[in-house]
Chain A
Amino acid sequence: MARYGMALNYKNCINCRACESACKEENGVLLLPDHYRIWVGVKEAEGQFPNISIASQTYHPSQCQHCDNAPCQQVCPTNATHYSPDGMVMVDPTRCILCTYCINACPYDARYVDQRTMTVDKCTFCSDTRLANGETTTACQATCPTKVRVFGDLDDPNSEISQLLAKHEYRRVKEHLGTKPKLFYIL
């Protein structure tokens, strides 16, 4: 079985937010406040005029980190949040009771309540909308003009993501919490 993750050349991000639009379009995410599976965080430039560090202004695309040790999965009382065989963290809406404990437990703000099903929703790496149809990329990756995102199998040493992570230093967000996130920010 594959173990899917995503590497992000986040320094290439130009904050066009095409990924946000593509995600919403592909996965039918409602256009409502709080309804977003992925987003681009803006880190402001540091310093005071005229000594402003232009390099310090960066954009941080983010989403569910599909942690190997996901706090949201541990706290779910009905196992609605579970790991797929491909190592992705998924929500089964039929089992979700909307206690929203997982939203509290997620250190990445990756979850929200879908107003149609009134269950918790999050990034699925497009598993039902694209991977199930034989695609090998996620919508956010396919649309990115600067090739920020690389999605693939971390267990396959020949995959593009494995090659990338073998050659570059990277960091993961809030790694100290022991969540083992599978989003890798290439330094």
Chain B
Amino acid sequence: MNAISLKNLFSFEKTPLNLLMAFVTVALVAAFFAGAVIYILHGHHAYNVTRQHPWGLLISMYVFFVVSSTGLCIISSIGHVFGIQEFQQIGKRAIAGAIITISSGFAVIGLEIGHPVTMLIYNVLTPGLTSAIWWMGTLYGLYLTFICLEFFFLAIKENHTFSKIFGICGLLVGLAAHSNLGAVFGFLISRPSANGVFYPVYFILSAMITGCYLIFLMYGFKYKMNFPEKVRVMLVKLSKILGMLLAVLIFFEAWKILTALYGDMPERAATIMHAIKHPNFWFGELTLGMLIPFVVILVSNAQAIKATVYASITGMVGIFFMRYGLVHDTLLYPMTTLKRAEYQLAPSFVDYFPSATEFMIGFGGIGLSLIMYYFADKIFNLDESEETHH
């Protein structure tokens, strides 16, 4: 932990990139708080969610943040849990990122859940043990505790034994929590396009990919693309892992889509066909999220680290569309297909577009992550220290 004055905390090198990031961060944080005020004044009226589409952008962003957190936790564990030497250097930075992103996720979901205080009380008093949300929420609470302790023993009071114990606990509970988040969607028998084993497994896979993208972005920004040899070697290896994970994800997605379309099963086939025709899928999720990073890694044989950093930007944009699609596509098909009034059309695919407040809170959460990361980078020494070698 660094001794730091308030002046040092807010001073940074005034490069164009730093200034741009500072502006973006402040603007997003301001948007978050403005959105929060609008929500406090108007409640759920400030959101465009409806009876037919009860979950929207904020649930997507919550998933986006917790996927990021779990991904960073998994990737960091390659080094300090599984003991792969080259990856030990990312431990502290990745765990700090994991704490930061899940905190942003909780901030966003706190403004989506109608009664968060009631949740804290009745989660304990009358737990719904058959509910994937109960397990997900409870396990994520435990996960946050474990990774905070892990970070404490990594960065504040260095103790390799404790950091490893809490690292293993955090990893296991994080995996359980995250697959339960997949089950939140996978358990929906009412939604054939989501129901099944796919999401709980896919969530872990896509979390690892998100973790890789974020490591590339954090290191790309930290070293301004001039990587020391030790970091470059690690990033080349990470790039190879990312390439393999992307190949598996593309394979998974292809079979998910083919299985959904095959046989034209009612509700499922039509929903997936509608979803994959939308640019959110074929441009956002597929091209930006998977193909561009995959092609960069494939063509360069995982050596083009700078290009992979840039591809990680498109990758994260794609990951956003993945999360948005996860929620929106699940809710696309109307649950009752009969019209309720004589002079109206029969319901078709449900429309939804987020309100300004949802954008402010949802994307504002990214600002929270950025500002917390800035402070964490200033206050703590997030790079490998001598003690963590043994």
Do A and B bind? yes
A interface list, Cβ under 8 A from B: 15, 34, 36, 39-44, 60, 62, 71, 74-80, 94-101, 103-109, 111-113, 115, 118-119, 177-179
Task: Decide if B131 touches A109 in the complex (CB within 8 Å).
Answer: no
Question: B44, A42: Cβ atoms under 8 Å?
Answer: no
The interface-forming segment of B4-12, B112-120, B378-386 is: B112-120
Which of A78, A100, A118 has a CB less than 8 Å from the CB of B122? Answer: A78
B337 and chain A: residue at smallest CB distance: A41
B51 touches A103 (CB 8 A): yes
Bitwise interface map of B from 22 to 49 toward A, beta carbon under 8 Å scored 1, else 0: 0000000000000000000001110001
Contact between A79 and B54, CB atoms less than 8 A apart: no
A-B contact list, 15 entries, CB within 8 Å:
A42-B338, A42-B340, A75-B128, A75-B187, A78-B127, A79-B128, A95-B118, A97-B119, A98-B44, A104-B55, A112-B51, A113-B114, A115-B45, A118-B115, A119-B115
Contact A60 B338 (CB under 8 A): yes
Partner among A34, A78, A178 whose Cβ is within 8 Å of the Cβ of B118 = A78
Of A42, A78, A100, the residue contacting B123 (CB under 8 A) is A78
> B375 to chain A: closest CB distance in Å?
31
B126 and A95 contact, CB distance less than 8 A: yes
**Would A43 and B336 count as touching, CB distance under 8 A?**
no
B 258-288 to A, binary, CB cutoff 8 A, 1 in contact else 0: 0000000000000000000000000000000
Q: Which residues from 89 to 131 on chain B have a C-beta closer than 8 Å to any C-beta of chain A?
A: 113-116, 118-119, 122-123, 125-128, 130-131
Is B132 at the interface (CB under 8 A from chain A)? yes
Q: Which 9 A-B pairs have the closest CB atoms?
A: A98-B114, A41-B338, A107-B190, A78-B122, A77-B134, A109-B335, A100-B54, A34-B51, A97-B119
Classify the secondary structure of B's interface with A.
loop
* A60 CA / B336 CA spacing, docked (Å): 11
Does A76 contact B335, Cβ atoms closer than 8 Å? Answer: no
Nearest chain B CB to A30 CB, angstrom units: 13
CB distance from B346 to the nearest CB of A (A): 7
Can you name the residue of chain A whose Cβ is closest to the Cβ of B346?
A44
Residues from chain A with Cβ under 8 Å of B119 in the complex:
77-78, 97, 99
B156 contacts A by Cβ under 8 Å? no
Q: How many residues of B contact A (CB 8 A)?
A: 44
CB-CB under 8 A from B196, the residues of chain A are none
Neighbouring B residues of A42 by C-beta, 8 Å: 338-342
B336 → chain A closest CB, angstroms: 5
Cβ A104 vs Cβ B334 within 8 A:
no
Instruction: Out of B113, B130, B188, B342, name the residue touching A97 (CB < 8 Å).
Output: B113
A45 to B53, CA, bound (A): 28
Given A41-B336, A104-B331, A109-B334, check contact A74 B116 (CB 8 Å): no
Given the interface pairs A34-B51, A97-B122, the reply to whether A77 lies near B190 with Cβ below 8 Å is no
Q: How many A-B residue pairs have CB under 8 A?
A: 128
Q: What's the minimum C-beta distance from A155 to chain B, rounded to whole angstroms?
A: 25
Contacts of B50 in A (CB 8 A): 34
**In the complex the two chains form, is B133's CB within 8 Å of A77's CB?**
yes
Given contacts A39-B340, A113-B44, contact A78 B114 (CB under 8 A): no
Partner of B189 from the list A15, A41, A96, A107 (CB cut-off 8 Å) is: A107
Residues of chain B from 312 to 347 with CB closer than 8 A to chain A in the complex = 330-331, 334-336, 338-342, 346
Q: Say yes or no: B336 contacts A74, CB within 8 Å.
A: no
Complex Cα distance, B49 from A103, in Å, reads 12
Beyond A109-B335, A113-B114: 15 further Cβ-contacts under 8 Å?
A42-B338, A62-B336, A77-B128, A96-B118, A97-B119, A99-B113, A101-B133, A103-B54, A104-B188, A108-B335, A109-B52, A109-B336, A112-B51, A118-B43, A119-B114
Chain A residue numbers with a CB within 8 Å of B127 are: 77-79
> B116's contact among A36, A97, A103, A112, by CB below 8 Å, is which?
A97
Given A101-B184, A104-B191; A78-B128 close (CB under 8 Å): yes
In the complex the two chains form, what is the Cα distance from A39 to B52 in whole Å? Answer: 15
The verdict on B141 contacting chain A, using a C-beta distance below 8 Å, is no
CB contacts (< 8 Å) of A41 on chain B: these are: 336, 338-340
Q: Which residue of B lies closest to A111 (CB)?
A: B51
Question: Is A109 within 8 A of B342, CB to CB?
Answer: no
Q: Does B189 contact A177, Cβ atoms closer than 8 Å?
A: yes
- Evaluate contact between A104 and B134: CB separation under 8 angstroms: no
Does A43 contact B330, Cβ atoms closer than 8 Å?
Answer: no
Contact present for A105 and B113 (CB under 8 Å): no
Cβ contact within 8 Å between B114 and A79: no
Pairwise interchain contact A98-B128, C-beta atoms closer than 8 A = no
Most buried by B among A34, A39, A42, A94: A42
- The answer for the CA separation of A177 and B132 in the assembled complex, in Å, is 18
Determine whether the beta carbon of B330 is less than 8 Å from that of A104. Answer: yes
B79 within 8 A of A: no
Whether B122 lies near A95 (C-beta < 8 A) is: yes
Is B118's CB under 8 angstroms from A97's CB?
Answer: yes
For residue B255, give the distance in angstroms from its CB to the closest CB of chain A.
Answer: 24
